[in-house]
Amino acid sequence: MTTPPLVEAIDLEKEFPLTRTAGDVLAGRPRRAIRAVDGVSLSILPGETVGLIGESGSGKTTLGWLIARLHDATGGALRFDGADLLALQGPALRRWRRNVQVVFQDPVGSLDPRLRVWQIVGEPIRAQGEHSRRVVRARVRELLPTVGLSPDCVDQYPHEFSGGGRQRLSLARALSVDPRLIVLDEPTSSLDVAVQAQILNRLVELQRERPVAYLLITHNVAAVRFAADRVAVMYLGRLVEVGAVRAVLETPLHPYTKALLAAVPVADARRRRTRFRIGGDVPSLIDPPPGCRFAPRCPFVIDQCRTVYPMLREIPGAPGQLVACHRAEEVRNVRPAELLSTGEAPSATPPAGV
Amino acid sequence: MTEPVVSIEGLSIDYVVGAGRFRAVSDLSLDIAPGQVVGIVGETGCGKSTLAQAIPRLLPEPPATIGGGSIRFQGIDLVKVPQWKMPAIRGTGINMIFQEPLNSLNPAYRIYDQIAEAVRIRQAREAGRPVVDPRTPPPFDYAHGPRPTTGESMLRPVVPVGTEEKVRRRSLRRHPELYEDVLEYLRLVRINDPETILNLYPHELSGGMRQRVMIAMALSERPALLIADEPTSALDVTIQAQVLTLMKELIEEIRTSILFISHDLGVIAETADVLGVMYAGRLVEFGPVAEVFESPRHPYTKALLRAAPTRYKSDGPLTSIPGSVADIAHPPPGCRFHPRCPLAQSVCRSDPAPRLLGAPDREEHRSACHFADEVAKIP
């Protein structure tokens, strides 16, 4: 606990206002907004990997973009190396950007099809003030082997690469300015399992070679298990659980984390008889349910959950693992597998022993 | 031995692009028994979706052409059926569920109309009535008139004035007798409050709901074979688990034959009885799902199972498959997996490719590898 965090988000918020029609104004209807990130506090230490898991619409990409200053926060505070990040503007912000780079989700859309490899990978170098074509090309040639590509492909175009190859290019681009944090937004979700393993291995090796921290945003629990040191679980704009990767994945405390782990299909033919018992859809972010966001789907819900939002807290017996659940102590011993049933009909009653 | 629902023999499918000819599926044989769920896994580009779309002849031909083989379904060879007769087989014979339900539902019709249409077609076919409702105008068809020139089609609407309006207004609300049937199918797929859902448009539903509606539509035609092409890949994990649970329950209730395509070994493990593994257009392993998972007899299956990340960073690197997927435009000779295979010998590099043969003690568990017995012995 002596290392100061590299990035520290405190009650970070991001609202996207919805368009208000003239009719809404005349009728005096209130302004409405999507609260994509709703009071998230998270810190990333130098050189560590934080996995951020959540389903689509949980705000995980928005949080990643906020930390990379690609979105402007509408509330809260964000510190980088102890300095206020939200106050940075203009040239100072541009200089700061060498510290944080992003690998985007879509390996096709994030690479300009009309640029050559050296131009794509070298773009951050040029943005940081190095304009010599010769220097940029030489730097790109050095970089490509670190992501497992041949230095001779500097003059190729992105369409000549496979999905995995494009994601390597994205990674090389992010590494080009020696950042201290790389935000990896679903880096492997469009890849096949064998290619995914290659990329994840490469990410972990790179971290051994250089002091870079990762924020790994994904819905893939397996990728987080392998690559992350700590995990944050996000649901509808809020963090529901934060802790060390083994602790969260082996003894999850929050009912949503348990449900998520139970839902992941496992390559084991014996799972055939099991039934998933969490119903309902992810509610809308426009009018999120009051109280705990997971309450409408939670099998352990009590009245308090529907009115009071539970704060992230530590519970006795699980040091370092934060959970936002009123009943964390009572449900902590429920295993994710208990949210699956082997019976014939799905039942709405919570598992026994709670 | 019961008669299989579908029997595919030596099927090859080519894509002809310019002067090139790409064999997307080569010499594939597969039987699906009544009530059996056959899963197909493979990486991107291995030909699994081509196979799925070739069975109901949904592939655009050209560029696709069926290069050989047969698909026997209910006593007819689908390869020889002319395209215009296929609609009579699709729907009540073979039905499909696609990955992205928003693209498969018509955005302009309410859910009720879409399911009612499926129910009405099934009832009409069962009663031997014509499927097209005599009360509706026939859709505009260039086959029954002179094809407009490019200039004409730019100057006047492609669909003649008048028909367009009638087609749009042709709501199946005029079939109130189907209301109870439609409700029954929505309840079958465990939709709470089906009366409300009926009046919504597809964009108003969530992804999981849309996929349930697609399943309801597919089942309402009581197909002999249901082809599910990545039905849960676009859904979130918890929603995917809900849809898989529903599918597992329906598999037991309805006992229809299903061809289940997925890239996710976990999804297949949960649903399929029999598993086929495809690599670069070939079926490399085929057998009962538990046996394929527990004792794979092809190095590719083994590598695929191992590549799934199930460990922590401190446990060492993940096992990945070296190299990249074989290019179907220039497939390597012999076994297509040999450039990436740790066991490859000279026999693997020469034609002909290994045939899909049963294990000595288990005829049902077949694999296309010269060294299948050695693979099975590797722990």
Residues 167-186 of A with CB under 8 A from B: none
Structure confidence by residue, pLDDT tens digits, B178-211: 888 888 888 888 887 788 888 888 888 888 888 8
| Closest residue in A to B323 (Cα–Cα) | A195
Query: Which residues touch B69 (CB under 8 Å, ≥6 apart)?
Result: B8, B9, B10, B11, B12, B27, B28, B29, B79
With beta carbons under 8 A apart, name residues in chain A contacting B266: 264-268, 271
A204, closest residue in chain B (CA to CA): B313
- Report residue B236 CA to chain centroid gap: 20
Q: How confident is the model at residue A48 (pLDDT cuts 50, 70, 90)?
A: very high
Q: Which of A197, A259, A276 comes nearest B318 by C-beta?
A: A197
Range among A53-62, A65-74, B225-234 rated most confident: A65-74
Share of chain A above pLDDT 70, in %: 95
pLDDT of B136 above 80:
no
Put the strands of the sheet holding B37-41 in their side by side order. Answer: B94-97, B225-229, B257-262, B37-41, B274-279, B282-288, B366-367, B357-358
Looking at residue B174, what is its pLDDT? 57
Residue B93 pLDDT level (bands cut at 50, 70, 90):
confident
**Phi and psi (nearest 5°) for A56?**
-65, 140
- What average pLDDT does this structure show over A67-81? 90
CA distance A85 to chain B (A): 31
Bridge partner list, A80: A7, A83
pLDDT in tens, A143-192: 998 888 888 888 999 988 888 888 889 999 999 999 999 999 988 877 88
CB proximity under 8 Å: A 200-219 to B: 200-201, 204-205, 219
Amino acid at A76: G
pLDDT digits (tens, 9 = 90+) for B144-159: 566 667 676 666 655 5
Give A163's contacts in chain B (Cβ within 8 Å). Answer: 44
pLDDT, mean of residues A223-228: 90
B168: pLDDT confidence band, cut at 50, 70 and 90? very low
Of A55, A198, A268, the CB nearest to B236: A55
CB B119 within 8 A of CB B127: no
Q: Strand A313-314 relative to strand A75-80: parallel, antiparallel, unpaired?
A: unpaired
Tell me: the pLDDT tens digits for A178-208? 999 999 998 887 788 888 888 888 899 899 8
Question: Cα-atom radius of gyration of chain A, to the nearest Å?
Answer: 22
Which residue in A192, A259, A268 is closest to B44 by CB distance? A192
Q: State the pLDDT at residue A42.
A: 92
Contacting residues of A for B310, CB less than 8 Å apart: 222, 225
| Percent above pLDDT 90 for chain B | 3
Q: Give, as one character, the DSSP assignment of residue A270.
A: G
Give percent above pLDDT 70 in chain B: 88
Q: What is the pLDDT of residue A137?
A: 92
Q: Chain B interface, mutation test: which of A49, A276, A297, most B Cβ atoms within 10 Å?
A: A276
Sign of the C-alpha dihedral, residues B40, B42, B44, B48? negative
Q: What is the pLDDT of residue B169?
A: 45
Between the alpha carbon of residue A316 and those of residues A114, A254, A321, B218, the distances in Å are 57, 14, 10, 51
- pLDDT value, residue A349: 42
Copy the structure tokens of residue A290: 């009051």
Q: Give the other-Cβ count within 10 Å of A273's Cβ.
A: 13
Average pLDDT over residues B306-330: 77
Residues whose CB falls within 8 Å of the CB of residue A96, separated by 6 or more in sequence, listed in order: A69, A80, A85, A88
Q: Extract the tokens encoding A50.
A: 């934080």
Instruction: Count CB neighbours of B127 within 10 A.
Output: 7
pLDDT tens string A252-307: 999 999 988 888 888 776 766 677 777 777 777 777 778 888 888 888 888 888 88
pLDDT at B18: 79
Whether residue A352 is predicted with pLDDT greater than 50 in this model: the reply is no
The reported pLDDT for the residue numbered B141 is 57
Is residue A219 predicted with pLDDT exceeding 70?
Answer: yes
Tell me how far the alpha carbon of residue A183 is from its chain's centroid: 8
pLDDT at B297: 87
When the pLDDT of each residue in chain A is averaged and rounded to a whole number, the result is 85
Q: Which of B274, B291, B282, B276 is nearest to B359 (CA)?
A: B291
Question: Average pLDDT of chain B?
Answer: 80
Q: Does A222 touch chain B (CB under 8 A)?
A: yes
- Contact call for residues A176 and A125 (beta carbons, < 8 A): yes
Q: Any idea what DSSP says for residue A310?
A: P
Residues contacting B108, CB < 8 A, separation 6+? B168, B201
In whole angstroms, give the CA distance from residue A106 to residue A170. Answer: 10
Interacting residues of B19 by C-beta distance below 8 A, sequence separation 6+ = none
Whether residue A47 is predicted with pLDDT greater than 70 in this model: the reply is yes
* Strand-pair partners of B287: B275
pLDDT at A36: 87
